Amino acid sequence: MFHKEGQNIVLISFFLVCAASLAVHFYVEPHWLRIGLLGLLLIGLVLILQFFRNPTRLAPMRFDEIVSPVDGKVVAIEEVEETEYFKGRRIQVSIFMSPLNVHVTRYPASGVITYSKYHKGKFLVAWHPKSSEENERTTVVLRTPQFGEILYRQIAGAVARRIVNYAEEGESVHQGDDAGFIKFGSRVDLLLPLKCQVTVKLDQKVKGAVTCVATVPRKEDDAA
């Protein structure tokens, strides 16, 4: 199954590869060069198909868990000063997506969208420390029953040149539902309340709508 944001690209790529393959088959010599070019065309098509894949994911639908919004690798877990919306300290969990990852963005929790804003910006590499502040990005805030307000930020990278964000202010959303798409590599930051207990580690690979990123601490943990 392919994401709707890639359906036109997939169809166009398929027809272009078919046309190019026919041209190579009939007009390219010698045989070894023909086989090589056909192989490259096939690899290119497979890469495009895998990039826009949209596997079905069933989120746990638990109010006391925040799940990863994307597939990728955890590259940062730190306490930061969030300056756009909260204007205060938050726990930031950053997830980097390579071009080989599924690039669908999914809602990390169920709740109501209280803020959704697009920012123009640069295209620094996604792991650059300044990318979350200077790159093209979207910021979305969800008001949840257990965590209060949480924020996630889609960040374009050096290759990613288009962010798609479906979140609209006032809309009620469900954990794991499709929230958007980032084309060709990027990163997503989660900004969580300090009371959260982060359940992932640096360099851990996570799956969107599947991997639990944070939970609400138990009362005995708060007492300790």
What is the set of active-site residues? 186
Instruction: Single out the residue of 140, 139, 167, 174 nearest to residue 67, CA to CA.
Output: 174
Check if the beta carbon of residue 180 is closer than 8 Å to that of residue 166: yes
Long-range pairs for 115-123: beta carbons < 8 A, 24 or more residues apart = 115/85, 115/139, 115/140, 115/141, 115/151, 115/169, 116/140, 116/141, 116/165, 116/167, 116/168, 116/169, 117/84, 118/163, 118/165, 121/156, 123/156, 123/157, 123/158, 123/160, 123/161
Please tell me the distance from the alpha carbon of residue 220 to that of residue 126, in angstroms, as a whole number: 38
* Contact (CB, 8 A) for 42 and 17: yes
The number of angstroms, rounded, from the C-alpha of 69 to the middle of its chain's C-alpha atoms is: 6
Residue 12: count of CB within 10 angstroms of its CB: 11
